[in-house]
């Protein structure tokens, strides 16, 4: 059983065929604009920009917010290093904040403690798709005059107190990688209510000029350094279909998560993930927290031998050498050592879920 598997088929192929027939396969074209409009509406934001991946969306967001050399940006520690990398790429310094032991999202108290005179903003992460404590994050940012960015890479379809992921900060970045809730293989997006931020990001994502589709100037002028971070119209057409699929995909993932949680709730060797009552979890991943006595390496090998793909959760970023010497963050470091990701996607059959459950129980008994 694969760890993740996309749900794609004839509808996506038909959408790609339409793009082929249109003659516009390049990036930032009509299919991208259509997807951007729908994504903005879906996330409850005013504006969206499709990008090549979530990393480029995060970087663009930080650039247009003004992060640069000499600045510090507080970053939730337990995350794939694309989050911290985006800060480094602007020339700013990431300062990592520890996480809570229930949601594994950034701990508001740890964020507050990490603020210095050089701090300009905060980047929080919706871990496995479940949002953290955004009312607290917003209050801290406002109290200290900081901007707030939501790394919503895994969070398509999540909500926090009825508000959709993507609408919870000044800017938010999504991923459409193959393991995410909706996918075109790769891709990303930046969403916001701030038109000036999105329009500046749009310019920067196309080498520093307005994209060709809809451009008014006959001969555009390059007046600042930009990048090629455009999403192709082929990918945008696939994502447009995936948006239609999302309610059904989320329902299936939530059903799988419910079965896992019921099956593993009484295990002494592992703790099931917490689902917080005032938010909806999209279950991009299902992460078991193994007991300290359990050898995760042995469990990984045993599950793979039984045909069940699995891996660790994500990274305690402060332990990665690329970031240099960092303060100890004990909760994140502990979770990094003990998290186990098991298959989670909308293509899992009941029989496969049963096999995963049996394999996990067997591996934790061995």
Among the listed residues 41, 180, 203, 258, the single catalytic one is 180
For the question of residue 41 being annotated catalytic, the response is no
Residue 339, φ and ψ in degrees, nearest 5: -70, 145
For 287, half-sphere exposure in the C-beta direction (CA atoms, 13 angstrom radius) is 25
What are 180's two structure tokens? Answer: 């995410």
For 179, half-sphere exposure in the C-beta direction (CA atoms, 13 angstrom radius) is 16
Name the H helices within the chain: 10-22, 30-43, 54-65, 82-90, 108-114, 134-144, 195-204, 233-264, 296-305, 330-338, 350-365
Residue 113, φ and ψ in degrees, nearest 5: -70, -25
* N-to-C CA span, the chain: 20
| Cα 76 to Cα 104: distance, rounded to the nearest angstrom | 9
Residues marked active site are found at 180
């Amino acid at each position: 059983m694969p760890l993740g598997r996309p749900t794609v088929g004839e509808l996506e192929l038909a959408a790609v065929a339409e793009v082929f027939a249109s003659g516009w396969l390049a990036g930032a074209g009509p299919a991208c604009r259509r997807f951007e409009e729908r994504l903005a509406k879906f996330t409850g934001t005013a504006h969206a920009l499709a990008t090549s991946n979530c990393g480029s969306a995060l970087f663009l967001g930080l650039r247009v917010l003004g992060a640069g050399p000499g600045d510090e940006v507080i970053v939730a520690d337990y995350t794939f290093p694309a989050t911290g990398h985006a800060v480094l790429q602007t020339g700013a310094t990431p300062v990592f904040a520890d996480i809570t032991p229930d949601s594994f999202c950034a701990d508001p108290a740890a964020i507050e403690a990490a603020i210095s005179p050089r701090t300009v903003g905060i980047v929080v992460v919706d871990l496995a798709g479940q949002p953290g404590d955004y009312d607290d994050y917003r209050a801290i940012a406002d109290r200290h005059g900081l901007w707030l960015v939501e790394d919503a890479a895994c969070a398509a379809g999540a909500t926090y107190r009825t508000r959709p992921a993507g609408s919870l900060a000044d800017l938010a970045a999504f991923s459409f990688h193959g393991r995410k809730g909706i996918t075109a293989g790769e891709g990303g997006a930046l969403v916001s209510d701030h038109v000036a931020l999105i329009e500046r990001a749009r310019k920067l994502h196309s080498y520093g000029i307005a994209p060709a589709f809809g451009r008014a100037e006959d001969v555009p002028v390059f007046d600042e350094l930009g990048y090629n971070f455009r999403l192709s119209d082929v990918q945008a057409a696939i994502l447009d279909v995936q948006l239609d699929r999302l309610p059904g995909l989320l329902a299936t993932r939530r059903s799988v998560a419910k079965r896992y949680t019921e099956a593993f709730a009484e295990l002494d060797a592992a703790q099931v993930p917490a689902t917080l009552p005032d938010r909806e979890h999209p279950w991009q991943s299902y992460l078991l927290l193994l007991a300290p006595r359990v050898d995760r390496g042995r469990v990984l090998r045993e599950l793979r031998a039984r045909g069940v793909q699995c891996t660790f959760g994500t990274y305690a970023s402060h332990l990665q050498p690329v970031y240099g010497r960092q303060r100890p963050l004990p909760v994140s470091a502990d979770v990094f050592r003990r998290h186990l990701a098991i298959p989670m996607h909308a293509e899992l059959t009941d029989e496969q879920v049963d096999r995963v459950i049996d394999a996990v129980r067997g591996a934790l008994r061995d």
